[in-house]
Structure 1
Amino acid sequence: MLYAESTAAVKRAGFRERLSSGELLRFPGAFNPLSARLIQQRGFDGVYVSGAVVAADLGLPDIGLTTLSEVAGRARQIARMTELPVLVDADTGFGEPMNVARSVQELEDAGVAGVHIEDQVNPKRCGHLDGKEVVDEQTAINRIRAAVQARRDANLLIMARTDSRAVAGLPAAIDRMKALVDAGADAIFPEALTSLAEFEAVRAALDVPILANMTEFGKSELFTVDQLRDVGVNIVIWPVSLLRLAMGAALAGLEELETAGSLAGLLPRMQHRADLYDLIDYAGYNAFDSGVFNFTLEK
């Protein structure tokens, strides 16, 4: 009932332990706390909070318009609702190195298990669009150093994302990844790789966990979990998938209302009331309420 029983510290420690095992962890992107609960119910390994999804949920493009408060607030809502570790997209850290440090502490306080900081020029843009720019290597290093220095829980995962593959090519991107690991990054997010061979090359070059972003309609082919496991990927995210599915279903519902005047024909495609009540533990709340108000007034 209410929120997760596991503390943030426990979830972080568990996340670290599973990452150290070398297994591949599956982190679908949640667009709200309820979808995070569904991800947990279906047996996934963690929950991802995408900056693109936070922006889209606010009706904004993913170009650095969201604030630290907005991202931390949504991350907190999601992290407290699930027993799973939550990895959050912290964009460029919302400013200079001191801002990065504050961002890390705010997100740590929000209860997440990990954050990733990227090396795009601020304001950033979607990692799978053309025309991206990245900062110089020293600026990227300074962001990661600030993030590592700022965390108070040593188990908070600091992941460095680099968008340099699309800007400078894979060899230069791998050199930057190595420099970011040397700066203290616990894991690497190589954005917009184009083939399994590229993931394999990154794996061969690094001795820290690596993440694969399987976003739809992007630069990367939608590889399967098995394919990514075979080339040594440790975490795979589907950042916007659930939001895209939900919005597609919402559009279909509105179109049905326009044409048929009723949603009776779409009932089989809806989450049933009983399933929703099970997901939010309606019975648990009812039992709690009954237990609190189980007294009678003496006459």
Structure 2
Amino acid sequence: MADPRLKQMLSEKKFIVAPGIFDMISARVADRMGFSALYATGYGTVASHLGVPDAGIATFTDMVSRMARFAQASKTPVIADADTGYGGLLNVRHTVMGYEAGGVTAIQLEDQEVPKKCGHTPGRRVIPAEEMALKIEVAAEARKSSDFLIIARTDARTTLGLDEAIRRGRIYRKAGADIVFIESPETEDEMKRIGQEIDAPLLANNVDGGGRTPILSAEKLASFGYSIAIYPALGFLTVAQALEKSYAHLLQHGDTNALPDGVIGDFARMNELMGFPEVWDFDKRWSRPEPQRAAE
């Protein structure tokens, strides 16, 4: 079931910062931090689950169970990437139903051609705006609860320009999108213009490590009219960098004794994060003494 808190925060004009989660360790860590929402990134989830690029290779079947697991294991509302809806109108309907049943709170649908590509990589092509508007209408009809929010993303900025991206954002809002996501604006002025010209809750995509869009503060984004900032790459880029450094050290030195402080986490904390104390408590409550053998 969708979490009504996300819709409530939007109605109250509370700015939402959502870190990217991509596996269950990142989900558990982020869920404990006090964020208003979590963003289940398609790029990171595809990379961690399949080890392939976010280029339309993953299917609905690959993704729905993982997105549902993120949502069901988190107390925080989960916003989930659903690419193009994994096909045509019937696929979109099936995707919305599956994500909502899994406990996701907001679904992100984009207007790229199939196969899609990651939003901050080259070569993206978009379908006609009217086709995407139909997808949004189908998605709105397919959901069971109005607390389940629809995020309409357009990738038109990179290939067709900002005017077309803004035009599409307006069309998608009129079609029933709760939140509009203009992907890959390239300057602060472009982001400000988006906020001025689209009357809808807006999502900003902050891609760390070399994305196409400038990363602005929550305060500045809110002043431009944005409602949500996602950081999809922060988690998996941080983890990959730490792993590369740690593994390289092990390869070079043959042990981990001289790794700098703070590189390796505490094993006891990881046990607590994963829920081992509950398992140990269960074992204590239900353990039975070993039966004594009869004297020979």
Give runs of aligned pairs for residues 106-145 of structure 1, distance below 5 A: 106-145=98-137
CA distance in 2, matches of 1:126, 1:150: 26
- 8 Å contact 1:196–1:228 — kept in the other structure? no
What is the TM-score of this pair, normalised by structure 1?
Answer: 0.91
CA RMSD of aligned residues (A): 1.9
* Segment drifting more, 178-187 vs 281-290: 281-290
Match of 1:270?
264
Q: 2:67 is aligned with what amino acid?
A: A
Q: Per the alignment, in what secondary structure is the counterpart of residue 85 of structure 2?
A: coil
1:22 pairs, out of 3, 9, 13, with 13
Structure 1 position 207, deviation (Å): 2.7
CA distance in 2, matches of 1:292, 1:46: 37
What is the TM-score of this pair, normalised by structure 2?
Answer: 0.92
Match of 2:219?
226
Q: Identity across aligned pairs (percent)?
A: 31
* Segment drifting more, 223-232 vs 169-178: 223-232
Q: Per the alignment, in what secondary structure is the counterpart of residue 222 of structure 1?
A: coil
CA distance in 1, matches of 2:79, 2:288: 41
1:71 pairs, out of 35, 55, 63, with 63
Q: Per the alignment, in what secondary structure is the counterpart of residue 188 of structure 1?
A: strand
Residues 114, 295 of structure 1: alpha-carbon distance in 2 compared, 3 angstrom cutoff: farther
CA distance in 1, matches of 2:76, 2:268: 24
- 8 Å contact 2:180–2:200 — kept in the other structure? yes
Structure 1 position 22, deviation (Å): 1.1
Match of 2:31?
40
Larger radius of gyration: 2
Match of 1:91?
83
Structure 1 position 163, deviation (Å): 0.6
Match of 1:192?
184
CA distance in 1, matches of 2:133, 2:202: 18
Residues 214-260 of structure 1, C-alpha deviations (whole Å, 9 max, x = no match): 01212111222232223221111111221111111111111101111
Structure 1 position 267, deviation (Å): 6.2
Q: 1:251 is aligned with what amino acid?
A: E
Structure 1 position 130, deviation (Å): 2.3
CA distance in 1, matches of 2:289, 2:6: 44
Q: Per the alignment, in what secondary structure is the counterpart of residue 143 of structure 1?
A: helix
Pair 1:82 & 2:74 matched: yes
Structure 2 unaligned residues grouped into runs of 5+: 292-296
- 8 Å contact 2:196–2:224 — kept in the other structure? no
* Segment drifting more, 257-266 vs 89-98: 257-266
Structure 1 unaligned residues grouped into runs of 5+: 1-7
Q: 2:38 is aligned with what amino acid?
A: V
Match of 2:233?
240
Aligned residues: 290
